[in-house]
Amino acid sequence: MPLLAKRKPSRPGHVAIVSVLGVLTFVFLIPLIFILVNSFKGKFYISNSPFSLPGGKTFAGLDNYATGLSLSGFARAIGWSFFITAASVVVIVFFCAMTAYYITRVKNKFTSILYYMFAFSMVAPFQMVMFPTVKVADLLGLATPWGMVVLYLGFGAGLSVFLFSGFVKSIPLEIEEAAYIDGCSPLQNYFTIVMPLLKPTAITVAILNTMWVWNDFLLPNLVIGQNEKYRTIPIVIQSLVGTNGNRDMGAEMAVLVMAIVPIIVFYLTCQKYIIEGVAAGAVKG
């Protein structure tokens, strides 16, 4: 019977890193656990004992979830959140990929300025353009779910173009030249040769923007928050706070869980593509 290989002792540095990451994971999970636990408590017991487990008279079962689902406009908000998120992600991926390809392959002063403008948009704080954005949205009639898609394209283009550009630089020109020799037009070359190669980065861009748009509160609240017909999930959750500060904490926690769970499941399912896409975009230019 062959001797079992001895396991190498863990290095102190490795143990320290794992310990720190474990502590950080626990710290980040605390708010989620807090929300989940309190979503099963009666609303009168959350404030008195927020960190205790539900049980006995404090246990409300699924009443909070039933209350949350019965809220006026919540079902409609789910539909608008899905529409705005899906449409915005599709538009961002489609247009930003083409923009990044043009910027990378066409070298002139215009494309260089355009690239640095996209890069600058990533560091410019939203508060700096918040009020002008709302004013322009009102003037152009963008205070609708369809208008939100246009606004998200503008705000999401900076990071998306940056990621796509990094990957396009790693695609050998010889592949495209061979396609041109075989008779491909520029559009055929892009959609049949380049776009399939962009798949890892496209998935990464789609995942990052999905999490951002789905959870975003400030932009929808500023642009369409006054129109109850077009409210998204974060705005409906905020509306649970009464005008005098009164709030149904139980229903609020339950609605938060229903809003968080889909995006967590989506992220856990697709997280490996984020790592693959970022690593692919980090290849030499």
pLDDT digit string, tens, across residues 243-254: 555 677 788 888
pLDDT category at 9 given cuts 50, 70, 90 is low
Q: Does 144 reside within a domain?
A: yes
* Three-state SS at 41: strand
Q: Does 217 reside within a domain?
A: yes
Structure tokens at 10: 């863990």
* Total domains in the fold of the chain: 1
Q: Does 200 reside within a domain?
A: yes
Q: How confident is the model over 44-69, as pLDDT tens digits?
A: 777 777 778 887 777 877 888 888 77
Q: How confident is the model over 146-204, as pLDDT tens digits?
A: 999 999 999 999 999 998 998 888 888 888 888 888 888 888 888 888 888 888 889 88
Structure tokens at 105: 């392959």
Task: Provide the pLDDT for residue 284.
Answer: 45
Q: How confident is the model over 204-224, as pLDDT tens digits?
A: 899 889 989 998 998 998 898
- Least confident range of 55-59, 82-86, 141-145: 55-59
* Mean pLDDT, range 111-130, rounded to an integer: 87
Task: Provide the pLDDT for residue 280.
Answer: 57
pLDDT over 70 (residue 92): yes
pTM: 0.81
**Contact between 214 and 85 (Cβ < 8 Å):** yes
Q: Does 35 reside within a domain?
A: no
Q: Does 176 reside within a domain?
A: yes
Task: Provide the pLDDT for residue 35.
Answer: 87
Q: Does 263 reside within a domain?
A: yes
Q: Does 6 reside within a domain?
A: no
Which letter, b or e, does each residue of 181-207 get, where b requires 16 or more Cβ atoms within 10 Å of its Cβ? eeebeeeebbeebbeebbebbbbbbbb
Task: Provide the pLDDT for residue 8.
Answer: 55
**Contact between 32 and 260 (Cβ < 8 Å):** yes
Task: Provide the pLDDT for residue 285.
Answer: 44
* Mean pLDDT, range 257-281, rounded to an integer: 75
**Contact between 96 and 157 (Cβ < 8 Å):** yes
**Contact between 153 and 159 (Cβ < 8 Å):** no
Instruction: Return mean pLDDT, the chain.
Output: 83
Range of the domain at 150: 66-281
CATH of the domain at 141: 1.10.3720.10
Q: Which residue has the higher pLDDT, 224 or 43?
A: 224
CA distance 167 to 162: 9
Q: Does 32 reside within a domain?
A: no
